[in-house]
Structure 1
């Protein structure tokens, strides 16, 4: 048992400073089937494990989901990865939205998840199956990310003996948790070539081994306490391993391909031209490159392709009613009908006195200027066509009032967001860092098909091109 001093120390330490490895909780004996550890995430693990001081592989890992993903296990995991693979250039991104079940997260993922274009996504979300599968399918269709689908741990009122035989789990309405964890999630993982973190069974084994009730591991009904957080951390750490029986070249594995620059790519007018098949292309500069290149894709500057800009996550700002801070957007998704420009946007909303559930609002772009007004119960297209909001994409009561524990709807509020870019016209060599590859993404989330890249200017410093093609990712849904 933990001592009073340990609890006092825990209260005083900054979040995440107390390492999971220093816990006094008993270690789990069963950390998973060794034959499946690391399965389907070996590109990411190879990038981590083969990093050296001279070659610091860049690895982007995204944690996405709701309150379970927001737990401290994600902080402990980052500490573990940085200590275990100190030579990797690790980009670790956490974007959880507590309370956002799959019908909400499937919309926010448009600006939160796919544009990150990570090497690995660790994903957990509750909610309806259709929207959940949509997010996994979109990850597979739009990115080359490896994905870990996480099963659910046991809640306070759930039994250690719930049915685990998939053949016996047939009725979702009567066996919700069993159906989800032993039928739906494993089937989605197989269909889309994802790893499956089957922690529910491991959680049960731990409870049985130490004669514990499920409630001992949670702080409320569902959220892990320190004991549950320790176990959750240990189980995901055990899955993130490099397998010696799997050999993969992470830079040339079919769906990611690195093409060295050759003389036959050079045109008579001094440009570098290459036809690629994929939806993302990076330029790899040599160590001593200093000159930038100008890029074209299919005859246009990359940023002239409408999909290369998008509206980022909106933030709620206090106006009339004091609103506690939080990450939850009041508009789940902002679209556009006309190409975006680099600017920030402000939406000012005022409660409709005739119907307090509705709001009247105005939008203004930092460059576009005043751009029209609308109502939350009607489709809105701004005067410029650069802002489109569907009535079903508003989430004011839940995102502003309920999740922030306000007693009533605010009389007015403001939303702020920025137009984000996922392409560049001017490909400039990044600042040199010892051992880190000098890579620049020219464009991503293009259509996954053949495109032509033309670089002019400082092409002498271009060493290679790297192509990413989601359709070539090995999974049944892709037919390979």
Structure 2
């Protein structure tokens, strides 16, 4: 009995001190219209809310932007979601790049953002409204990601931040059906409510201190709520076809007409018989579609793409790479690539060579080339995409290498695998990056029997859906 009371006292004390710690700073007020919270992100929130110990939905979240998004508030938001939705299997990345405004970010987004194909993008960036919209539009053209846009926090009078926050970003949120966190108005209200100067929440003219990160996290967390009375996916951006109900194998062959740019297999819990499946889309192997290959972000020697894990003590954001974007004008192969710096004189005056693990030596060039096009056409680098002059804490000498890989967003053959955790769906992406139109999927079993597949999931981005080529969202 004595230990029982001691335990109760310990629990109450823990709750008390937890609450006290959480209230170290005053909480922000709710926005004037709380009904706006959670708008346009309910598919993602439903995945979280409907997870349970027997079926843990996977939710992919990407924080993207520049140095403000690199701050600790993003970690606090991720930790809060894990606490509130403990049965969800989260895959969270922060790929923000400090100092990279929208007119810069539009280039690395080709590597960072669209191939990751998040369920939810949480986005804040400064810079040009034109490039800002290019990024949001392409997210909606190439993924089914729900998007949460954040306006600028208040650091003092700034006509451009006011215009972005009160005019352009709300306009983009309405046009592309994004969630909108009105940081700027809420921040101003918080400053007024507590008689704070803007510097009270900052470490310098712009970046957040501990209380600023607390406030930013709380404002974003306010928005991340589940509303069970709202339809989670009214436009059917993501649709699941169940084997035996919506589609079936006939003599070892499954045929599914679908519309979208990505298609996944969800494996069955049934043990595999050892059979495999040949995949065809529109009568072709997925590897024959040039658009199904993607290029990973070119990183300098000290750059790192860190995937957040609950127990990791590593720094949250990644470092800045040395090339913002690599393009191609020829069909790619799955291989690793490297640029090797030669005759380095300055960040805007150097030579280099290019080589691929399959292609081999593929030419040489210099910063003056605009653009540089390798002999095979598999490497195209625009002069504006070199960032050697902006690298910090990195000593560039002759032989400095910048690496990237070409990775497949497809499989030609489906090989059923054992699932080490039956509470999490084991998925295989058959194709990601297809033209967002009608296709026909064929899966042919090697033994003429049905494969252990539970369902097939199709992703249909909202822009470019209509047959006349007009965006469904533009109306």
After TM superposition, the score normalised by the length of structure 1 is: 0.84
Shift of 1:269: 5.7
Distance 2:152 2:406 in 1: 35
Where structure 2 has 5 or more consecutive residues not aligned to the other structure, the ranges are 1-17, 303-316
Counterpart Cα distance in 2 of 1:264 and 1:311: 35
Instruction: Name the structure 1 match of 2:88.
Output: 88
Q: In 2, Cα distance between the equivalents of 1:260 and 1:30?
A: 41
Question: 1:115 is paired with a residue of what secondary structure?
Answer: coil
Alignment counterpart, residue 225 of structure 2, candidates 237, 241, 252: 241
Range moving further from structure 2, 343-352 or 20-29? 20-29
**Is 1:333 paired with 2:321?**
no
Alpha-carbon deviation of 1:357? 2.6
Secondary structure at the aligned position of 2:400 is classed as strand
Alignment gaps of 5+ in structure 1: 1-17, 163-174, 319-324
Whether the 8 Å contact between 2:261 and 2:437 is mirrored in structure 1 is: yes
Residues 314 and 372 from structure 1, CA distance in 2 versus in 1: closer, same or farther, beyond 3 angstroms? same
CA drift of 1:421 comes to 2.1
Which of 401, 411, 431 is the matching residue for 1:414? 401
Deviation at residue 310 of structure 1 after TM alignment: 2.0
Instruction: Measure, in 1, the Cα distance between the counterparts of 2:46 and 2:271.
Output: 27
CA 111–356 in structure 1, closer or farther in 2 if over 3 Å, else same: closer
Which of 242, 245, 254 pairs up with 1:260? 242
Residue aligned with 1:339, SS: coil
In structure 2, the residue matched to 1:34 is 34
> In the alignment, does 2:299 pair up with 1:308?
no
8 Å CA contact 1:192–1:476 kept in 2: the answer is no
Of 333, 357, 360, the match for 2:348: 357
Equivalence map 1:104-123=2 (5 Å): 104-123=104-123
Aligned to 1:440: 428
What do the CA deviations read for 1:104-151 (whole angstroms, capped 9, x no partner)? Answer: 110100010001111110001111111110000001111111100001
Question: How far 1:242 moved relative to its partner?
Answer: 0.5
Quote the Cα distance in structure 1 between the aligned partners of 2:421 and 2:248: 28
* Superposition RMSD in Å: 2.7
The 8 Å contact of residues 336 and 406 in structure 2, kept in 1 or not, is answered as yes
1:281 corresponds in structure 2 to 263
Q: How does 1:285-300 map to 2 (within 5 A)?
A: 285-290=267-272, 291-300=275-284
1:443 Cα deviation from its structure 2 partner: 0.9
Query: Which deviates further from its counterpart, 332-341 or 55-64?
Result: 332-341
Q: 1:297 to 1:97 in 2, by over 3 A?
A: same
Question: Is the 8 Å Cα contact of residues 111 and 294 (structure 2) preserved in structure 1?
Answer: yes
1:373 aligns with 2:361: no
Cα 1:339–1:32 shift into 2, 3 Å: farther
Alignment deviations for residues 18-43 of structure 1 (CA, whole Å, 9 cap, x no partner): 99963511222335631101011001
- SS of the equivalent of 2:134 reads helix
Write the distance in 1 (CA, Å) between the matches of 2:37 and 2:326.
39
| Mean Cα deviation higher: 445-454 or 389-398 | 389-398
1:171 matched residue in structure 2: none
Pair 1:267–1:438, CA change in 2 (3 A): closer
Q: Which whole-Å deviations, capped at 9, do the CAs of 1:239-273 have from their partners, x for residues lacking one?
A: 1000143133x5x8522111223489567663111
Q: What corresponds to 2:182 in structure 1?
A: 198
2:385 maps to 1:393? yes
Instruction: Work out whether residues 287 and 438 of structure 1, in 8 Å CA contact, stay in contact via their aligned partners in 2.
Output: no
Specify which of 374, 384, 393 is matched with residue 376 of structure 2: 384
Structure 1 equivalent of residue 215 of structure 2: 231
Residues 346-380 of structure 1 show CA distances to partners (whole Å, capped at 9, x for unaligned) of 11112455x87321100111222211111122122
Residue 267 to residue 204, structure 1, CA distance change in 2 (3 Å): closer
Aligned equivalents of 1:479, 1:326: Cα separation in 2: 35
- TM-score, normalised to structure 2, is 0.85
CA spacing shift, 1:267–1:244, aligned 2, 3 Å: closer
